Chain A
Amino acid sequence: MKKAFLILLFLFLAIGGGSFWIRQRLKADTEEQRETRIAVILSGSRDDRSYSQAYYDGMLAYAESAGKDVVFYDCVSPEDFEKTVRPVLEEGYWIIIGDHYGYEPYIEGLTETYPDVYYLIGSGTGYSANHASFLGRVYQARYLSGIVAGKRTATGEIGYIIAMPIPETIRQVNAFTLGVRKVNPEAKVYVRFTNDWNDDELAAEATNALLDAHNIDVLSLHTNSLAPLYEADARGVYLIGNNYDNRDLFPKTYLTACVFQWESFFAERISECERHKFTAKHYWESLKAGSVTLAPLTGNVYFATGDEVEAERRRILNGEFDVFYGPVTDIYGTVRVREGENLPDEELLYNMHWYVDGVVVE
């Protein structure tokens, strides 16, 4: 009698206990919506008046208008990304926005420990389940800025300081040059590299060398450092900025700039995150989307430049024209894009190692 009782008890415990291992949510619960908490990791400082600040401003504007909880971490190098982000994730931030492609490799490691987190990496090119990267089609703005430069230059010699020769920078200088050539077919764009995004000394050095070597009266740049602008401004050269509108710094020489306006982009993406409709892809935000644009022209531009710029802008916006619609010839005379053709994005992103006719690399 007692034995049977004990067996039954054991059975009961075994079945009852073991079965409670398996648990899964089957009924739709109305779970509380997670409070949106965003962390922005900037490679530069938030007031660099350049690339990182563009992120900062954009996000701040959005967060304030939408009332979101945002934290900013600046000057985080790619190596420091992980250790910066971990405590942030611990605190429960689940939308991480970064501004450097160098952050991308570290995401996978973090996802294992902290699932349910979305990553948006600007200037990145990869994407995975919870990670999307984005860029702006700055080249479209560059093209327009090229028109401004082409119109402005009297000497026909335009300077362009680039950090490193990568498809991004090459593409942009190509777009710039195409714009220049559109309005000034004989003009030339002289290019020098600093090999560093942020180093002011190197940038200043390269700028001066370039200005010394040629009769440049308009300068544009593709570095984070603002040094080229300062140097050029000191020498009375007209400036076209990048990332950020710094006209207040150079009232006499500033023409315009290719700037980011991330606010609406962030708004869209974050809304998607909140609705769990995050799409893992590479976003290349166009002029049309508004994420990149040409800053308003200053009074220093050549008169009537504005009309030309507008006309071209309109063509781009309605799809009639995009910067690299054919014909495009490289510096060696090879026709890269024929009339009626377009360069696919892939080419633009990864394979542009050639310069369009009119670029002179020093």
Chain B
Amino acid sequence: MTKKVTDNRRFRLPVTIAVMVALLALLGVTLYVQVNYLLNVYMVEQGKKQVETLAEITGRQFEGELGALFVVASELGRIEGMRTEALRAIQDADADGRIGVLRIGGSPFYGEVYSMDDYPCLESATHGESDISYLEGKGLMFAVPAFRGNNIAYVVYRLYPEEMLFERFGVTGYGGEGRVRIIDTNDRVIVESVAADSDETLLYDEESVTGGFEELNRMLYSSGSAAVFTQTSAGEMMLYAAEIDDSPFYLAGYVPKTVVMEGVQYISMLVILVFVILAVMVFFGGGLLMNLDRRTRESEKLREEARVAEHANAAKSEFLANMSHEIRTPINAVLGMNEMILREASKNKAAGDAQGDNKSFRRITTFAYNVDSAGKNLLAIVNDILDFSKIEAGKMELVETAYKLSSVLNDVSNMIAFRARSKDLKFTVEADETLPDELFGDEVRVRQVITNVLNNAVKYTREGSVKLTVGRGEGSSGTSQQKTDAAVPGPGETLQLLVSVSDTGIGIKEEDLAKLFTKFERVDTIQTKTIEGTGLGLAITRSLLEMMGGEISVESVYTVGSTFTVRIPQRVMGSGCLGNFRESFERTLQDLKTYHESFRAPEARILVVDDTEMNLTVIEGLLQQTELQLDTATGGEQALTMTKDTAYDLILMDQRMPHMSGTQTLQHLRAQEEGINKETPVICLTADVVQGARERYLSDGFDDYLTKPVEGAALEAMLMKYLPAEKCIRETVPVDGRKDETAAEEERPAFLPEELDYAAAKQYLGTDAMIEKTLRQFAESAAEKAAEIETLFAQEDWENYTIKVHALKGSARLIGATVLSVLAAHLEEAGVYLSK
């Protein structure tokens, strides 16, 4: 359907232009023809006027002749009887000797005698009418009566001999180009168009000319003059004729059309020219228009495509955003479920032991562990795929923060050491002590890259060793060619971090080296058949390195081993060195939170909403030092009631609550009529840290969010940000207590059970007193809470079950019951899955 419309549209414009050009051409031709015709009409009219004028002139000439004779006649009339006198008068007038006078009766009085038969004008004059007669070969005679009183006494005539006629009466038109002859009613030629001795060929006898004159005669019936065009042997001529008034004579003649046209033909040519120009203009204008049209359509198409691409991209991003959560959730559920199986099995073990049913337990446990392992693998693969998709979509972004290199190396080493040990491989670490420790970059991705390479090394090594070497590479600013002797990059400068992993594994064939980093390809499938993996690892690694401005290279000898070298440029933040990284790492923990920015806000009032009382207590404790006025609510409804009466500077809202979630409470709050807390900043407290979480909470209406369990520093930072500045008094406060494991062990309070992580508790709760208080609270409510959970589990009320377990996760973490917290997390995931 769309295609058809587009096709039609494509043709409309060119067709319209073609039609317009055709119309213009037609109009031009019509106009040309019409202008030509009108010009011809004009020329004919002009011709008629010309010949009329000539006729008039000739008529006057004749009149003049007669007039001259009348003078003589009147003289005669006057002089009566005095013959001599009369004769003298006549003689005076008769300069050229052509005048004659006849008496009534025909006898001559003066001059020659002529008969009336030859010259009828004499007879007419006898009867009193002046007249003109022509005798072929002889000449033209003018005769007038001479009156004596009322009666006619004489006839006075003048005869022009034939040979004189052209000279005397000859007429030309059109500046000498037009031929004119004088003829009588019987078409006798009185005066020819040219002199007798001329050798010009006259056209009067041509058929077309005589035909033309016939036509003119017809026209002369209704008007005094007429003209017409006709084709002759000498070209196209305009014929014309006119009556000579008061005489039996006519003028007739012809003139070449070209003489008449005289430049007029250019007018019609001009018309053609104008239209040609117009047509050309339309043509080009049309071409331009078509071009424009095409471009518009093209850009429209592009816009459409862009929109589609945009749409696809948005869908992809959303997919990615959703997928990570959607995929990880069931996997976590699997793992969570697994835990529960193990627990159940453990319970049965206790029961079975009495009956000696160990075997069943052990089998179930094995199965469960397998599930656990497979699940973790799956999670790893899924993460790889998701990461890869992100990179492909160009959505992978580096989140750069300050981090400690020692921390990364520590974690990585510990993890690989464990794996290597399980495969009976030797694992060694060598780190350049002079390396700067405080770096700026994407810690997560750096970690990922190093882990990836190390994992590969372990994966593809059946026996022998894996060695990790960490050092400085060329190009670290402030260094020279030599690695070890050059100066160490200082703060603000770039460190080219060089990480090498060597193994004694199966190696890579020379020809396969190129394929190594290609996505989805796994090299040497025969050897590697038993080894798990998607083949994406190295491709991801390389992409990440490219993003970070680094690179990866490999050296390998087939069946001997391989060395992968990774170079990552990282910005140096501080002057501390790696040293013995284990040591420095531990020191970091000590140095952590030596000082931190804090505040006091005795004027400010905040509301904390959380369904778990223990969490409220924790926050109270954390904010004790700030001297804030704190109100608490255990549910959304309670919070709404309180917010109606009291105006708060800030509200901390737990998301996961029964009956009314944090978002719902927020919406009700914002919708409150004359709500005094309409503008109050509301911070969401949530354990949900998913991609796009911040955006989601912000779009829900929250001003910001904090992850649970809430850390004191983060909480303080958030409050400092959102509390009214005038109510906040900033100050730097030392934090007592070092979060050092060993040190913590020494100071471990007596009341704290062994299983609990003192360091963690200290981190979240801050003081021993707080820990004790919280722990007491926990212990008091533990039994109740556990019973609640079990009941919900038995009822299969998964929604509320999840909420409770979620709460338990948080509170367990607070008091340092890390294992319990993790277990609870798993249960929570399972619960979420089941709630769907």
Question: A residues bordering B, Cβ < 8 Å?
Answer: 1, 4-5, 8-9, 11-12, 15-16, 19-20, 22, 24-31, 115-116, 130, 272, 275-279, 284, 286, 288, 318-322, 325-326, 337-338, 340-347
Contact = CB atoms under 8 A, between A and B. Distances in A.
B229 A12 contact: no
Contacts of A116: 221-222
Contact of B150 (A319, A325, A347): A347
Nearest to B185: A277
A341 B104 contact: yes
Contacts of A1: 13, 16, 289
A346 B117 CA distance: 22
A342 B41 contact: no
B608 interface: no
B27 A11 contact: yes
A27 B228 contact: yes
Contacts of A29: 215
Contacts of A15: 27, 30-31, 34
A110 B24 CA distance: 49
A321 B105 contact: yes
A325 B221 contact: no
A288 B44 CA distance: 44
B40 A26 contact: yes
Interface of B: 13, 16, 19-20, 23-24, 26-27, 30-31, 34, 37-38, 40-41, 44, 103-106, 115-117, 122-123, 126-129, 145, 147-148, 150-153, 185-187, 208, 211-212, 214-215, 217-218, 220-222, 228-230, 239, 248, 289
A30 B24 contact: no
B239 A28 contact: yes
A22 B151 contact: no
**Residue from A286, A337, A340 whose CB has the most chain B CB atoms within 10 Å:** A340
A47 B594 CA distance: 161
B41 A24 contact: yes
Contacts of B104: 325-326, 340-342
B271 to A, nearest CB: 11
A277 B126 contact: no
B126 A322 contact: yes
A1 B13 CA distance: 9
Contacts of A275: 187, 217
Given A26-B229, A28-B208, A28-B228, A12 B23 contact: yes
B128 A344 contact: yes
A16 B150 contact: no
Nearest to A13: B27
B151 A272 contact: no
Contacts of B152: 341-344
Given A27-B230, A277-B217, A344 B115 contact: no
B115 A31 contact: no
A278 B250 CA distance: 12
Contacts of B115: 318-319
Contacts of A342: 104, 126-128, 151-153
Contact of A319 (B24, B126, B148, B220): B126
25 contacts: A5-B19, A8-B24, A15-B34, A16-B31, A26-B44, A26-B228, A28-B211, A31-B215, A115-B222, A275-B217, A277-B187, A284-B127, A318-B117, A319-B123, A319-B126, A340-B153, A341-B152, A342-B126, A342-B152, A343-B151, A344-B145, A344-B151, A345-B128, A345-B129, A347-B128
Contacts of B41: 22, 24, 26
Nearest to B154: A340
A153 B37 CA distance: 77
A89 to B, nearest CB: 16
B44 A24 contact: yes
Q: Is the interface of A mostly helix, strand, loop or mixed?
A: loop
Nearest to A345: B127
Contacts of B38: 19, 22
A357 to B, nearest CB: 17
A358 B228 CA distance: 62
Contacts of A30: 211, 215
A28 B240 CA distance: 11
Contact of A12 (B30, B106, B221): B30
Contacts of B208: 28
**Residue from B26, B208, B221 whose CB has the most chain A CB atoms within 10 Å:** B221
Given A278-B221, A342-B126, A344-B152, 20 more contacts: A8-B27, A15-B27, A15-B34, A16-B34, A26-B41, A27-B228, A28-B228, A30-B215, A31-B218, A279-B185, A318-B106, A325-B104, A338-B148, A338-B151, A340-B104, A340-B105, A341-B104, A345-B128, A346-B128, A347-B151
A341 B148 contact: yes
A276 B30 contact: no
A319 B145 contact: no
A29 to B, nearest CB: 7
A84 B27 CA distance: 52
B23 A9 contact: yes
Contacts of A286: 123
Contacts of B214: 276
Contacts of B129: 345
A117 to B, nearest CB: 10
B720 to A, nearest CB: 66
Given A12-B27, A342-B104, A344-B128, A277 B148 contact: no
Contacts of A115: 222
A178 to B, nearest CB: 15
Contacts of A9: 23
B229 A28 contact: yes
A342 B19 CA distance: 84
B34 A8 contact: no
B229 A27 contact: yes
> Which A-B residue pairs are the 3 nearest by beta carbons?
A344-B128, A276-B217, A28-B212
B133 to A, nearest CB: 13
A25 B350 CA distance: 132
A137 B129 CA distance: 15
B148 to A, nearest CB: 6
B220 A340 contact: no
A342 B106 CA distance: 12
A284 B145 CA distance: 17
B23 A25 contact: no
A286 B248 CA distance: 19
Contacts of A19: 30-31, 34, 37-38
Given A19-B38, A322-B126, A130 B185 contact: no
Contacts of B30: 12, 15-16, 19
A24 B222 CA distance: 14
A134 B374 CA distance: 143
**Residue from B104, B186, B220 whose CB has the most chain A CB atoms within 10 Å:** B104
Given A28-B211, A116-B221, A347-B150, A320 B16 contact: no
B150 A4 contact: no
A28 B116 contact: no
Contacts of A22: 37-38, 41
A314 to B, nearest CB: 13
B251 to A, nearest CB: 14
Nearest to B17: A1
Nearest to B237: A28
A362 to B, nearest CB: 29
Given A28-B228, A276-B218, A5 B153 contact: no
Contacts of B103: 340
Nearest to B155: A342
A307 B187 CA distance: 40
A342 B27 CA distance: 72
Given A12-B30, A340-B153, A28 B16 contact: no
B229 to A, nearest CB: 5
Nearest to A9: B23
A342 B214 CA distance: 41
Contacts of B230: 27-28
A272 B211 contact: no
A344 B27 contact: no
A31 B211 CA distance: 9
A319 B107 CA distance: 10
